[in-house]
Structures are given as C-alpha cells and as structure tokens.
Structure 1
Amino acid sequence: MRKFLLVLLLLLVLAGSGGAWWAWRAWQQPGPLPEATAVVVERGSGTQAVGMALGESGVIRDPRIFAAAVWLTRKQGPLRAGEYLFPAHASLRQVLEVLRTARPVQRMVTLPEGLTARQMVDMLEQAAGLFGDVPAVDEGELLPETYAYSWGDSRASVVRRAATAMRETLDRLWKERAPDLPLKTPREALILASIVERETGKPEERARVAAVFVNRLKRNMPLQSDPTVAYAAADGGVLDRPLTRADLDMDHPFNTYRNRGLPPGPIASPGVAALRAVLKPMETDELYFVADGSGGHAFASTLQEHNRNVARWRALERQRSAP
C-alpha cells in the first residue's frame, strides 16, 4: 500500500497540471451511492478494511483511491469507528468528512409501558447494534421510554440509563405527591403504578383507576386486581389465557383477591403517566370499576351500582359470543 501511494504521488507530480485536474476530479466528483446509506466502521479497522467496507456498500468506486486520499489528507484527522450515514452520491471529500467529523447514526430502542422485566430484557437482546449481555433487571426497575444509542454501545449502558431515569422520575414525582396518600414510600407508589398501568390502556382513565385503588387502600379493602393475579399465575411472566376461578383462589402473595394491601413488588414497568396518576389521583369516592365493553371501564361508588355495571358487561359478552 505504501508503495502504491508513492507511485501515485510521483505520477501526480510528473503529470503536472493534468495530474492536478485528475486528483481534483477524483476528490470532488459525485460518488456512486444511489441513496443515503448507513455503513458500520468496525473498531480497529485499518484504512484498507474501511475502504473495502465502503466499496462493498457502494459508497466509493475504488478502495485504492480512497486509501490514497486518506493518506494525503492524514493531517485532517484519523478515521473514526462507528455507524455513519453517507449521503447519496457523496464525493470522496464528503466521505472523508463523514468519517472524521460526523456524528454516528443514532439508533433507537423503545421500551413500552406495562412490559415485564423479562419482556424488556428480550427487547434489549434483540436490539441491533447493541453488544454484551443484559444485566439482571428487577421488575419495575426500568422507565419505559425511547432510548437513543450508537452502534457498538453496550446493553448494560442502556439498562443503566433506563434505571437512572426511573429513579429520578420517581423521586421527582414523589416530592410532588398529593397529601394523605396511603403510600409510605416511593417503592409503594411504583408498585401501585404498575397495577394501574396494566389495568387500563386509556390515558384519561389512569387517574380515576388510581383513585379507586387509593380509596380501597384507605379502607383496607383488597385491591382485587386481575393483572396481579395474572402475574402470579404466569410466575412473573405474561399469562396467555383467561383467568380461572382457581387462579383467583390460589394462595400467592401477588393475589390481591386473597391478600389486602399492595403486593410485594411491581408487576410491570409503569410509565410516567401512571406514576403521576398514582401520586396525584382523581378526587372521587369510587371504589369499583369493571370493563364497559368499549375498551374502557364503568366506575361505581357503591356495590349495588357496581353489580349493575357487571351485569351490563356480562350481557354484552353474551351477545358477542352468541352465534
């Protein structure tokens, strides 16, 4: 390679103005890339390896000319490892600018609200461009959010950021909580928020569902939350079948039909909205809710009213299942 560069330089000197024109054309002319493309430059890659990768991706025409240009412009800085986006028809000058000065491509991994720790670990393991093992993750430890990362980042680094985000968010919202809540610690708020997150997918219902559970806790009533029973029946996973009477009757610390108060831990990772709903619930005297058949819930303050709502829901279910 060094011999090729010396020969190239000699030819340019001997060619005089003609050589200068050729070099300028090779430096400035549009490249062969038909559309913007991201290319990964592996750590530890030498100039030849980078040139081969760019050539195989269609970014440059000739890796040898690329290598010569790198050497001739070496004072402008080294080529950096990472994933970079090259614009369509990038010239050799633009290619080297990207490799020396551009920010790496920002990839995204989204951890949705309401996932269990196992589900979040699975998503991180499948995220392309992240490397290394996922460290142990406690239930409810990670804040559901979209996290940016670059090719080559570690999965552990994303876990640390998500865990820090959950701690900081929970601490901030805890300081802003409503007075007289039956929650003694931020962890208790996290536990209840995980239940609210799993109970409703409607944003406008979160504070109301939270209020029902808060009112039940104040009266020492069992929470009777189906998602907690499902979590127990699936052994901390996701239940892939309807709940049964045996599930509701099982002796398990997460069975909130048999046990009063909060379960011993979260059942999923709640998002910011669910945390806020638990720490600032709606002001209401409602103690019950049941599905209303439209994706939402019917709420009630008395058992008599709740039983009527349950009867309506069961009638809807019978109509839907009728042939």
Structure 2
Amino acid sequence: MWRNIASSFLTLVLVLLVVAAAAIAWGRKEFSGPGPAEVAQCVQVAPGASLSAVSKQLADQGAISNAYVFRAGADYLGKAHELKFGSYLVPPGASMEEIIGVVTAGGPSTCGTEVILRVGVRETTVLLRDMNSRTGAYEEMARYNPATEERPAEIAAAEEKADARLRVLMAEGVTSWQVVEAVKAVEFLSGEVSEVPAEGSLAPDTYAVNRGDDRAALLAEMARRQAAILEAEWEARPFGLPYETPEEALIMASIVEKETGVAAERPQVASVFVNRLERGMRLETDPTVIYGITRGEGILDRGLRRSELNAVTPYNTYRVDGLPPTPIANPGRAAIRAALNPDTTDYIFFVADGTGGHAFSRTLEEHNAAVARWREIERQRGEPADSPVQGDG
C-alpha cells in the first residue's frame, strides 16, 4: 500500500512540476512577447502610484494581457519600486518588459494632455494639445490669445486636470515686457509681478510649471538660466572681441537675434556688426531704432519714418556710435554664442535676399547692387520699399 501511495505522490509531484514549468514558460512568453495593444497607449503614472494600481490600469487599457504577470516580472527585474511619475507613450504591441522599461526610466512625459503658453514675438497663444492614440502624434484641440480672447471651456477644464502638463514656451527675440504680460494673462499661474525684468535677462526656453506656481518665481528661473548661459559663453569666448563686459555681448546678441530668423546666419550677421565696431562704423540697424520707439511694448507694424531715422536717441544706431545702452530683446543661447563667436569675414553690409535670408557684401558697391535686387523683389511683390539702410531692418 505504501508503495502505491509513494508512486501516486511522485506522479502528483511530476504533474505539478510539469504544470509549473508550463506556467513559467507561459508567463515568460506573456511577459516578453508582443502585447495585445493594437494602437499606441498613453500610460499615466500618478505621483506615489503603486505597481498594483499601474498594472490594473494597464490591463484595463488593454496594454497588457495579465496584471499578475506584469507585477511578477517587475519584481523579478528588481524594478517593482522604481516607477517614475509622468505620462509615457507606449507603442502598439509593446511587451510587458518594454513597458516596465518605459515607466521606470522616467524622463520627460511623452503623451497626455498639455496646455502650453507660447510667448511669441508677434503673438502670444495658449494651446491645448492631446495625443491621438492611433497616430502617436499630438493634435491641437483648442487655442486662444489670452490678451484678446476669452479662455475656451475645454482649456479651462484641461488646466484643472491633475495629470495635465502645463508649460511656458518663450521664443527667442521676445521682450521682457512681452513675457511679463503673457504670464500675467494666464490663469494657471498665480502671484503678482512687481516690475519688468531687465531686457535681455530672460532665457528663451521651455519651462514646466504646476498649476498655481508663482509668476515672479518663474521669471526668476528664466533670469537664472540666462545668467548661467551668458556666463558659460562669456568664459568660452575667444580673445580680441570688441566687448568689455558680458552685458555688451548680450546687447550684441539681442541685435543678432532680431536681425535674422535663419539660425545658420547668426555668426555671419554677428561678424558684420563686429567688423563695423572694429572699423569705427555705426551699426545702422533698424531693430535698435524700433526698440527706441516701442521700448519693447508691442510691435511696430509699419516702416520706419525718415524723421525716426534722423532723430538722435540712445537706440538710433544710425545717429549714435557703438552699441545701444541695453539689449533690445531676450536672445537665445545660439545668438549669444554667435555674438561671442562670430564668423571671420570681411562683410560690413547685408540686406534681405528674398528667400528669408540675406545677401552679405564686403563693399558699398556690392551692397548697393544687392539692395537694388531686393527693391526689385519688393516691387514685384507689390510691397512698399523699405528705408535705405545698411543692415536689414
């Protein structure tokens, strides 16, 4: 009898081992094989979320086939306690192993609802975007200008969502006044701004914020970043540049920023103005004259008048020598680097060439020919001729 019992027990053990081996093999296949999702999934990990909650969410979304296998695999990999807060895009068919890698690696969020305050040179807008799960791409859902339009209901609702990402995007070449007016206009920030920061002192960049963040603190962070950029670029500058202080380099960078929208041209434009300073020539650049008129508070949507070009003001570089007294906008890192690392050229003139870029010249004769070509392009477009300037205004 005992022999029969022992034989039955061994048989049961063998069956259990076979079942266990099959279960393990199945679990490994489920864990490492392609997942069930046919479209991209936005996986949102809340602050302090547990592995159990995330695995249930993934199973409910259809991103994984089995929440228990997901948790067991995370435990096996030693990543059960390494979840990182954020919203992450998971591609179609991603395995559980791949998903664990995504939600524990961290980094910037790559999907989900986001509200962006875009501070631009010509317009400030608040944009609502969300991810299309079928394409994996962000799509615009709504937008408005906070200075002139009412906030749409869908943007107001998005700003209140706990998992929505809020960002402030500051473009190169905007003025400090424009930045202050923009951050004061949106309702997801709070606090007073007592004064406009010094022109040029704010770093064009993208800033992640939380609902209710203090406006003054955000401006202080912008200033901190710009100071760090200027310090690093100033320390790395070559010898022989016509700047006595970092502030003078920042002024030049702001002029370069306003003179061209073509990134590759910045070092060439900087070389023109450096060459003029070194030869004792006036800078003769329209953006400085315009800043003297507007003080950075808005756009001058017209050409400069002859009386404005003739007026003697600190910012009229047609009438005064050297640099203007302050920057005329907030330059980005690339413009600061260009001002401190200009190309080595003989250029002392440039003018628009009709392609969005500029024609650079070494002599007045070459420049006059380039100006004539530009005037002809203006005539063909039916545009009024610009004032006769030596730097494209």
TM range (shorter): 0.5 to 0.7
1:263-302 alignment runs, 5 A limit: 263-302=324-363
Query: What is the deviation of 1:293?
Result: 1.4
Change (3 A) 1:127 1:299: same
Specify the code of the residue in structure 1 equivalent to 2:314. P
CA contact under 8 A between 1:173 and 1:276: conserved in structure 2? yes
Structure 2 unpaired stretches of 5+: 1-111, 115-158, 384-393
Q: CA RMSD in A?
A: 1.8
Specify the code of the residue in structure 2 equivalent to 1:302. T
State the alpha-carbon separation in 2 of the partners of residues 86 and 293 from structure 1: 48
State the alpha-carbon separation in 1 of the partners of residues 209 and 113 from structure 2: 18
CA contact under 8 A between 1:124 and 1:134: conserved in structure 2? no
* Residue 119 of structure 1, aligned match among 168, 178, 188: 178
Q: Which residue of 1 aligns with 2:310?
A: 249
Number of equivalent positions: 225
Q: Which residue of 1 aligns with 2:28?
A: none
| Structure with the larger strand share | 2
CA contact under 8 A between 2:192 and 2:215: conserved in structure 1? yes
CA contact under 8 A between 1:223 and 1:257: conserved in structure 2? yes
User: Given the alignment of the two structures, is residue 107 of structure 1 paired with residue 161 of structure 2, yes or no?
Assistant: no
Query: What is the deviation of 1:111?
Result: 1.2
Q: Which residue of 2 aligns with 1:66?
A: none
Question: CA offsets, 1:188-216, max 9 Å, x none?
Answer: 00000000000000001001000100110
Per the alignment, in what secondary structure is the counterpart of residue 247 of structure 1?
A: helix
Specify the code of the residue in structure 2 equivalent to 1:204. A
Q: Which residue of 1 aligns with 2:286?
A: 226
Specify the code of the residue in structure 2 equivalent to 1:249. N
Specify the code of the residue in structure 2 equivalent to 1:144. P
CA contact under 8 A between 1:135 and 1:159: conserved in structure 2? no
Question: CA offsets, 1:7-57, max 9 Å, x none?
Answer: xxxxxxxxxxxxxxxxxxxxxxxxxxxxx889xxxxxxxxxxxxxxxxxxx
Q: Which has the higher contact order (CA 8 A, sep 6+)?
A: 1
State the alpha-carbon separation in 2 of the partners of residues 286 and 236 from structure 1: 29
User: Structure 1 segments of 4 or more deviating over 3 A?
Assistant: 83-87
CA contact under 8 A between 2:270 and 2:338: conserved in structure 1? yes
Specify the code of the residue in structure 2 equivalent to 1:199. E
1:120-269 alignment runs, 5 A limit: 120-136=179-195, 137-237=197-297, 238-269=299-330
- Indicate the percent of aligned positions where both proteins have the same amino acid: 50
Q: Which residue of 1 aligns with 2:34?
A: none
Superposition TM-score, scaled by structure 2 size: 0.55
Query: What is the deviation of 1:140?
Result: 1.0
State the alpha-carbon separation in 2 of the partners of residues 160 and 247 from structure 1: 35
Query: What is the deviation of 1:234?
Result: 2.0
Query: What is the deviation of 1:86?
Result: 6.2
